[in-house]
Amino acid sequence: MLDAHQQPHQFPRRLLVAVTGLSPQIVTETLYALAVAPPASAFVPTEIHLITTRSGAEKARLALLSDEPGWFHRLSNDYALPPIHFANETIHVLEDADGRPLEDIRSPEDNRRAADGITGIIRGFTADPDCALHVSIAGGRKTMGFFLGYALSLYGRPQDKLSHVLVSEPFEASLGFYYPTPTSRVLEMPGGRLVDSAKAQVTLAELPFVSLRHGLPEALLTGLASYNETVEAARHALAPAELQIDLATRRVRAAGKIFALPPAELALLSVFARRALRGEAPLPAPAKELADADWKKRYLVELRWIAGPMKDLDETERALRKGMDGGYFSAHLSKLKKILRRELGPVAEPYLISDGGSRPRRYSLGLRPTAVTYDALEQEGVRGCEICAPLQPTPRRLEN
């Protein structure tokens, strides 16, 4: 594992990632600004990746990777750049719903497919801890640049950078300009004006971005979530915490996600949720070796709501006949925290039962009263919990 404080140029794998349309010049312009332009960035990519449409890919191959004019090869040779992997396989063509290359991005469906494709590519690159990304949003349609920038905001890490390339006038209007050449090269501009490409100036405008990566559940960092799903998760991560409990179906909604909890853990969560709802003070845990009758009472009240009138709780009541002790409380609290962290990832913290952080330990759910509700949850979008079996008698001692 690499040092988290490494600079982008110190990573062994360095990727220049760009969206392009019918102006592949932004690739050589950005590469020039990174590797050559004074003051040259220390970030010289080891790979170049383009995200584009079918026609954009064809133009990039012909303009940049061909034998003639082969502008990428010319730039590399003109400035003696180290080897950079840029080939047909690093040009990523966006696809439609049927897996065919997108010709252009014009319809809402095209936009959705482009968003999902760009998000998936950036998610994959940022999963590699040994790489740093330099992402350029200068090319392609405006929506492509937006999706690329937003994808980096969702998944980007400290070593990843975002930029837009700036080209001095009048060269930005020239289709024949690809980078400032080391020797004189005359270009004819629209209207017949002649200019020397050696006099062009190319710079990068770095665009700061807010990284939302650490607010995303682990499943969205490693899975195949769509752009919309990832954005929705980020919104919930930034929104004020809200908890909805449906005791009848043994499910909760937290950070916008609906999931089931085992009855014993749900009962414990509900004890503290009701206290938060009423604005009541934190509670001490039961003593380690002493049975606590008050804790038994408040816990069984919630468990009976969850079980319903037809469920037999005799075994649980016998296990707690003298009261709840600290071992019973701690075991279920630990299991509840483990489930919440697994389901919610980094955004679980507001939903965890806190011990207050100092002695004497007093436990509470740190949600404001208006953030807690007890209502029925809709069935759509439910993900079951593999350890959430029907209510069973709870043994006196729990295995770790």
| pLDDT tens track for 115-150 | 889 999 999 999 999 999 999 999 878 889 989 998
Collapsing DSSP to helix, strand or coil, 242 comes out as coil
Number of domains present in the structure of the chain: 2
Between CA 86 and CA 337, with CA 211 as vertex, the angle to 5 degrees is 120
Are 69 and 93 part of one and the same domain? yes
Is 393 inside any structural domain? Answer: no
Could you say which DSSP state residue 117 is in? H
The band of 1, judged by pLDDT with boundaries at 50, 70 and 90, is: very low
Structure tokens at 223: 């899975």
Looking at residues 36-56, what average pLDDT do you find? 87
- What average pLDDT does the segment 5-22 reach? 91
The CATH number covering residue 69 comes to 3.40.50.10770
Domain boundary among 202, 231, 260: 231
Residue 386 is assigned to a structural domain of this protein: no
What is the domain range of residue 133? Answer: 8-231
Distances, alpha carbon 1 to alpha carbons 5, 8, 264, 269, in Å:
12, 15, 40, 38
Predicted pLDDT at 84: 97
State pLDDT tens for residues 260-295.
Answer: 999 999 999 999 999 999 999 999 999 988 889 999
- 142-149 long-range contacts (CB < 8 A, ≥24 apart) are 143/105, 143/111, 143/114, 144/19, 144/21, 144/51, 144/105, 144/114, 144/118, 145/19, 147/19, 147/114, 147/115, 147/118, 147/119, 147/227, 148/17, 148/18, 148/19, 148/51, 148/118, 148/122, 149/207, 149/209
Cβ neighbour number for residue 226 with a 10 Å cutoff: 15
Question: Is residue 395 one of the residues assigned to a domain?
Answer: no
Tens of pLDDT, residue by residue over 344-393, are 877 888 999 999 888 889 999 999 999 999 999 986 544 444 434 433 33
Is the domain of 21 the same as that of 155?
Answer: yes
SS3 assignment, position 241: coil
Mean pLDDT, rounded, for 211-240 = 66
Helix axes 25-35, 71-78, angle to 10 degrees: 20
Mean pLDDT value of segment 310-333: 84
Distances 245 to 253, 298, 387, 398 between C-alpha atoms, Å: 7, 17, 18, 25
Higher pLDDT, 227 or 62: 62
**Strand-pair partners of 52:** 93
Strands 131-136 and 13-19, bridge-based pairing? parallel
Task: Write out the H or E segment, with its range, that includes residue 70.
Answer: none
User: Phi-psi category of 191—alpha, beta or left, where left has phi over 0 and alpha has psi -120 to 50?
Assistant: left
Residue-level pLDDT at 389? 40
Q: With bands split at pLDDT 50, 70 and 90, how would you rate the model's confidence at 233?
A: low
Q: What mean pLDDT, rounded, does the chain reach?
A: 86
Q: Note whether 138 and 26 are within 8 A (CB).
A: yes
Domain membership of residue 281 (yes or no) is: yes
Domain CATH code at residue 314: 1.10.10.10
The model's pLDDT over 290-316, given as tens digits with 9 standing for 90+, comes to 889 999 999 999 998 998 765 667 778
Residue 249 pLDDT > 90: yes
Nearest to 353 by CA among 282, 294, 254, 261: 282
Look at residue 201 and tell me whether its pLDDT is greater than 50: yes
Burial (0-12, 13-18, 19+ Cβ within 10 Å), 190: exposed
Question: Look-up: residue for tokens 């955004």?
Answer: 347
Global pTM reads 0.64
Task: Return the H-helix or E-strand segment holding 201.
Answer: none
| 120 vs 39, higher pLDDT | 120
State the pLDDT at residue 143.
Answer: 86
CB of 16 closer than 8 Å to CB of 31: yes
Where are the alpha helices (H) located in the chain, listed in sequence order?
25-35, 54-60, 71-78, 108-126, 142-155, 218-222, 227-238, 263-278, 293-307, 314-319, 326-344
Is 221 contained in some domain?
Answer: yes
Element (H, E) at 18: strand 13-19
Does residue 188 sit in the same domain as residue 260?
A: no
Radius of gyration of the chain (CA): 29
- Same domain (yes/no): 76, 118: yes
% of residues, the chain, pLDDT over 70: 86
Are residues 209 and 252 both part of a single domain?
no
For 72-109, how does the pLDDT look when each residue is reduced to its tens digit (9 = 90+)? 999 999 999 999 999 999 999 999 888 899 988 888 88
Same domain? For 183 and 325 the reply is: no
Q: What is the pLDDT of residue 218?
A: 58
Place of tokens 């990727």: 15
Domain end, chosen from 231, 249, 273, is at: 231
Q: Does residue 319 sit within a domain?
A: yes
Cis bond before residue 69 (omega within 30° of 0): yes
Q: Cis check for the bond before 39: say yes or no (omega within 30 of 0).
A: yes
Q: Which of 231, 254, 288 is at the close of a domain?
A: 231
Both 253 and 277 in one domain: the answer is yes
Most confident range (mean pLDDT) of 170-179, 227-236, 291-300 is: 291-300
